[in-house]
Structure 1
Amino acid sequence: MSKAGRLTHLYDEAKGNKWFYYFAVFCRIVLALAFFISGIVKIRGERFAAGLSVNNPMGHYLEALYHTEYYYTFIGISQLVIGVLLLIPRTAFLGALSYFPIILNICVLTYAVRFEGTRITTIFLLGNIYLLWWDYDRLKYLLQFKQGKENDRPARKKPLSNKFPFLFFGFVVGMIAAVIITNLYIYDIRPGNSPEECTNGCPGNRNPKACEAFCDCIYNQGKPLDECLNAYNKIANQ
């Protein structure tokens, strides 16, 4: 059996396992719920993460987005539609496909502004990738992968297996742990979600004085993130 054939066989085995199916359903529900909550807030014309200071880098972005009027509402409606698509079995693949560019954009944004929500957006992105993999038998035709004789067919239909995939779910737990741990050390400093959260992290910073200056720059002076980071690095390197 060729390498492609072995991969197809493993994919068929996963598609025939009820635990992989349950996990796909779980991911669809969680991702849809996240978009429902976010979408309803936008449709009702309310601020998303209203407790976040407008001087926070993410607060700057969300405040500007809030003032885009019907574009803000349009995003909310789109999120609700995608959430519904995810929950309907016949349209779940279309929902996952539509979800991906949005959650990827949100994930990159949270990392760019050093937002505390990087962990959850990364986990949502990974969940979305799993859903795309779950429907790989459909996705491969959209991506126009070269098909061999062994995989020129949809995954086999067979009774669902009850065998619990310990290795897979161990990998899932490991990935979540890796995301959480990596986000603890990826940045030397973050603005946090409030002035108090920012300054509370200063005692453990390599340069508490520079950290306090950074927090003051963000929340009291309201300067852009890049300027405050430059000021922080200048003081820290003195």
Structure 2
Amino acid sequence: MILKIKIDQLHARAKNNKWMYYFSVFCRVALAAGFLPSGFVKIMGERFTSLSNNHPMGHYLEALYHTGYYYTFIGVAQVTAAVLLLIPQTVVLGALLYFPIILNICILSLSVRFDGSLLSSPLMVLANLYVLLWNYDKIRFILPFNATAKTHALIKRDNSFPIKFFSAVAAVIVILILTLPKAFDIMPRNTLNDCKRQCKDPKGSNACEVFCDCIHNNGLPLDKSLAMYHQLLNKNSDIKK
């Protein structure tokens, strides 16, 4: 009971801070802007990107494009979620619809190491979570514990700038920018030339170039291309020994 009261009080203080309110509006608009263009592309029946079909993400998007009205359905869901987020009365419904879609995109981007949304999709997941937490007082009734009395009415309006909160937000963004691009030993990139630009193999080793050819020229799956890449690296390492 004490924990629930503290959560309510923490949420109430946040709701009464104008800067955190502005940030919630920014997140809603940014999330909507992220889904509206891509959603309309799917509704119009057009391809989402110009990625090669040999690219791991290209494999997925090409197959998705040929799923018929399922492809259109995803676009409708994205546009619906975006529009609902922009309407104050339907923010919660929009955020709840938006979250599984963007979480799926985030996991997909990480699993195939896709440059296009490697950074943006995790940030969108975090923004979506913030909108959901901002509306905690509305969604707590579906959570597995009893709702407590509203407390934000007892707290005075706070116009002070929450330095700690926005410092934490900035820190998370910086950490993601610095870590995500370096989280993988090699990336397929979007084109063959971009892929080969990252090649800095030791002299006599062409593991990186082989990997790029496997992806962009031969259209091999990412896991097989990675296995061949690491096999060549290990072979080169054994030769040196």
TM-score normalized with structure 1 length: 0.92
Query: Cα 1:215–1:94, aligned 2, differ >3 Å: closer, same or farther?
Result: same
Unpaired stretches in structure 2, ≥5 consecutive residues: 236-241
Counterpart of 1:2? 2
CA distance in 2, matches of 1:54, 1:215: 14
After TM superposition, the structure 1 stretch with the greater mean CA deviation from structure 2, 62-71 or 157-166, is 157-166
Q: Distance in 2 between matches of 1:120 and 1:2?
A: 37
Q: Provide Cα deviations, 1:100-155, integer angstroms capped at 9, x if missing partner.
A: 111111100001111112110000000000011001112211123244xxx33364
One-letter identity of the residue aligned with 2:176: V
After superposition, residues 130-209 of structure 1 pair within 5 angstroms as 130-147=130-147, 151-153=148-150, 155-156=152-153, 160-203=157-200, 209=206
Q: Tell me the matched-pair count.
A: 234
Give the Cα–Cα distance (whole angstroms) in 2 for the partners of residues 222 and 21 of structure 1.
Answer: 47
Matched, 1:228 2:219: no
Task: State the AA in 1 paired with 2:57.
Answer: M
Report Cα offsets for 1:6-47 as digits up to 9, x if no partner: 332221111001111111111011101111011111111111
In structure 1, the residue matched to 2:20 is 20
Q: Sequence identity, in percent?
A: 48
- Change in Cα spacing, 1:178 to 1:206, as seen in structure 2 (3 Å) is farther
Give the corresponding residue for 1:32: 32
Q: In structure 2, do the counterparts of structure 1 residues 206 and 35 end up closer, same or farther at CA, with 3 Å as the change threshold?
A: farther
Instruction: Report which stretch shifted further, 61-70 or 201-210.
Output: 201-210
Q: Which runs of 5+ in 1 are unaligned?
A: none
1:67-94 per-residue CA deviation (whole Å, 9 max, x = no partner) reads: 1111111111111111110000000011
Give the match for residue 65 of structure 2.
66
The alpha-carbon distance between structure 1 residues 44 and 164, as it changes in their structure 2 partners (threshold 3 A), is: same
Task: Quote the Cα distance in structure 2 between the aligned partners of 1:175 and 1:198.
Answer: 28
Tell me which amino acid in the other structure corresponds to 2:92: F
Q: CA separation in 2, counterparts of 1:123 and 1:155? A: 28
Query: AA paired with 2:83?
Result: V
Q: Secondary structure at the match of 2:119?
A: helix
Q: Secondary structure at the match of 1:214?
A: helix
Cα drift, residue 213 of structure 1: 0.6
Which residue pairs with 1:218 in the alignment?
Answer: 215
What CA distance in whole angstroms lies between the structure 2 residues aligned with 1:26 and 1:100?
A: 17
Is the CA contact (8 Å cut-off) linking 2:38 and 2:48 kept in structure 1?
yes
1:164-198: per-residue Cα shift (whole Å, max 9, x none)? 00110000000011111121221100101111110
- CA distance in structure 1 between the aligned counterparts of 2:6 and 2:154, rounded to whole angstroms: 17
Partner of 2:92: 93
Identify the residue that residue 234 of structure 2 maps to in structure 1: 237
What TM-score does the superposition give when structure 2 sets the normalisation length? 0.91
Q: 1:21 to 1:207 in 2, by over 3 A?
A: farther
Q: CA 1:138–1:204 in structure 2 vs 1: closer, same or farther (change >3 Å)?
A: farther
Q: What is the alpha-carbon distance in structure 2 between the residues aligned to residue 144 and residue 203 of structure 1?
A: 52
Contact residue 9 and residue 151 of structure 2 kept, 8 A: no
Q: Structure 1 pair 146/233, CA: closer, same or farther in 2 (3 Å)?
A: same
